[in-house]
């Protein structure tokens, strides 16, 4: 079919390879090369179409966006033109990133403006949730691990997307990577300060973005980088609950979205999402890097909170005896620590535990030490992690299964080497940074589980269900994964040296060819692109 791009055409559908529209007589081959097949969507300032490029061998697909503002008043036309040109400039500047559509062409034809970009085949996250249901905590962490580095890249190019939402994120069919689309609302030349009133234009006189996903400062026409962080947080809530912002209630006093009762995730992820969704920009994460750093601390926080409770009571007694005037502030000293300080405190405590030097107390003096010596303590943390058995908790298989059946899912930082969990149903379990060397997990259901940074050296995972599991930075050297279901699993930076992937299903899995070359595969292995074989 050939589709007519005349906005006023009463019947735009035509026979394939027609030269002119049968209804309005408009030429159908755009710029003598692009043949439009069908309409994809209509926004406030433009309409998008699927087309073929007949000037190239194989006539590859592409997306054509036509400037088509909903209003005709001069200020709306000016705003639409500025946004359209801005999208072209932005895609030209950042479109070499694998998770951003490439800009292919930009031109004017018969007084109409067109933008041609790479066609991304796949389903949006909105469509995925509607078809397959919501994501687990591991799935959301995997989502964030893919989107946050992309967001960091975009912000480093001084671009605010301003319309991050599930409908604008596509899981590409080719490699299952997430691609951010629709840069029609972007803002360039970003300043974190308020907009100078003398610089107001028709463009800044209107709030741009999707209500509910856009934070208050963006709707007030003063977006900042953290505005995208908020929209990403709202997207996470949608992925966890399947509920759009309009389906949720808001606190009438603070304006905050009330979402926590609808999710069942770890307290730490709740805290991260809360800070992403702070109404006040001052209290929200400022950069994607900050969110990534906060997420990386997850395996340490449970043990930290327990030790803090024990140590804080000890500190209160010590301070009451030694410094009575400070005893009432001991809890404030602990709660006042920043994420970086807490991380350093954990590292120092572990380093001391590994050296057998006793417990670390977090008081006023120690807080200053944590702040000034974070890099030294981080080094100690790295050293102490080389001796995991001295800092990890032990658990036998029966205790673990009993706790799981009672609803517990968090088993991060446990020493579970040689444990026998063959055939167990452990979906959505958290084994982040745990030791599982030579563990028997054959045939276990580990769907959507978190094995990030875990050691699975020579573990038996034969025929295990690891679909959508998070295995980023995990050590799978020598692991037996024959026949395992690793579809859509996240394996980036995982060590697969000597891992046996014969007959494993890696459809849609996130890993590199370099990783696969280190593993054993055969003609029955299903590769990430869905094809079987060695090539």
Going by C-alpha positions, the residue among 453, 467, 425, 458 that lies closest to residue 439 is 458
Burial of 49 (0-12, 13-18, 19+ CB in 10 A): buried
Q: Which of 19, 32, 109, 163 is catalytic?
A: 163
Closest CA to 385 of 414, 354, 342, 362: 354
Cα 440–chain centre separation? 31
Q: How far apart are CA 206 and CA 79, in angstroms?
A: 9
Binding-site residue positions for ATP: 65
Phi and psi angles of residue 344, each rounded to the nearest 5 degrees, phi first: -65, -35
Q: How far apart are CA 118 and CA 116, in angstroms?
A: 7
Long-range contacts of 39-43 (CB under 8 A, 24+ apart): 39/3, 39/12, 42/68, 43/182, 43/184
Rounded (5°) CA angle 371-377-383: 170
User: CA–CA separation, 223 vs 256, rounded Å?
Assistant: 18
Angstrom distance (rounded) from CA 69 to CA 256: 33
Residues forming the annotated binding site? 65
Encoded tokens for 168:
């604008």
Secondary structure (DSSP) of 437-496 = TT-B-TT-B-TT-B-TT-B-TT-B-TT-B-TT-B-TT-B-TT-B-TT-B-TT-B-TT-B-
Residue whose tokens read 């006539």: 59
d(CA 285, CA 289): 9
Q: Which of 226, 202, 196, 203 is nearest to 214 (CA)?
A: 226
247 is catalytic: no
Number of H helices, E strands in the chain: 14, 15
Active site residues: 163
């Amino acid at each position: 079919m050939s589709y007519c791009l005349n906005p006023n055409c009463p019947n735009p559908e035509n026979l394939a390879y027609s030269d002119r529209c049968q209804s309005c007589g408009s030429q159908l081959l755009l710029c003598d090369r692009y043949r439009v097949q069908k309409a994809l969507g209509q926004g406030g300032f433009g309409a998008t179409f699927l087309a073929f490029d007949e000037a190239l061998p194989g006539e590859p697909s592409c997306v054509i966006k036509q400037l088509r503002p909903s209003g005709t008043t001069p200020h709306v036309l000016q705003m639409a033109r500025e946004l359209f040109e801005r999208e072209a400039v932005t895609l030209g500047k950042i479109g070499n990133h694998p998770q951003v559509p490439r800009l292919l062409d930009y031109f004017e034809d018969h007084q109409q403006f067109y933008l041609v970009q790479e066609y991304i085949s796949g389903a949006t996250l909105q469509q995925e949730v509607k078809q397959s249901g919501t994501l687990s905590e591991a799935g959301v962490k995997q989502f964030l691990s893919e989107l946050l580095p992309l967001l960091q890249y975009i912000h480093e190019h001084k671009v605010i997307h301003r319309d991050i939402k599930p409908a604008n994120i596509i899981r590409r069919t080719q490699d299952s990577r997430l691609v951010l689309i629709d840069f029609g609302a972007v803002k360039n030349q970003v300043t974190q300060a308020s907009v100078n009133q003398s610089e107001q234009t028709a463009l800044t006189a209107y709030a741009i973005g999707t209500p509910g996903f856009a934070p208050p400062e963006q709707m007030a026409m003063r977006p900042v980088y953290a505005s995208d962080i908020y929209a990403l947080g709202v997207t996470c809530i949608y992925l966890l609950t399947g509920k759009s912002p309009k389906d949720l209630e808001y606190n009438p006093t603070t304006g905050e979205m009330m979402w926590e009762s609808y999710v069942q995730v770890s307290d730490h992820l709740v805290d991260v999402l809360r800070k992403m969704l702070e109404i006040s920009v001052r209290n929200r994460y400022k950069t994607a890097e900050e969110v990534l750093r906060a997420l990386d601390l997850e395996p340490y926080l449970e043990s930290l909170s327990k030790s803090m409770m024990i140590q804080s009571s000890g500190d209160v007694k010590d301070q009451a005896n030694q410094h009575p005037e400070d005893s009432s502030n001991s809890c404030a000293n602990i709660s006042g620590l920043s994420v970086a300080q807490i991380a350093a405190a954990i590292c120092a405590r572990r380093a001391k535990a590994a050296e057998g030097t006793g417990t670390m107390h977090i008081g006023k003096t120690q807080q200053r030490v944590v702040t000034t010596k974070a890099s030294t303590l981080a080094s100690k943390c790295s050293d102490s992690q080389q001796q995991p058995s001295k800092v990890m908790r032990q658990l036998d298989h029966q205790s673990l299964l009993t706790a799981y059946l009672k609803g517990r899912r968090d088993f991060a930082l446990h020493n579970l080497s040689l444990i026998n969990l063959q055939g167990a149903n452990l979906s959505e379990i958290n084994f982040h940074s745990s030791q599982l060397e030579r563990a028997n997990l054959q045939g276990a259901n580990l769907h959507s589980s978190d094995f990030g940074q875990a050691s699975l050296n020579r573990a038996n995972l034969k025929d295990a269900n690891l679909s959508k599991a998070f295995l980023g930075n995990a050590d799978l050297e020598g692991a037996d994964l024959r026949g395992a279901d690793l579809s859509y699993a996240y394996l980036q930076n995982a060590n697969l040296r000597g891992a046996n992937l014969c007959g494993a299903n890696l459809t849609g899995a996130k890993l590199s060819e370099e990783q696969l070359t280190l593993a054993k595969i055969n003609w029955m292995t299903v590769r990430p692109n869905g094809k079987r074989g060695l090539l």
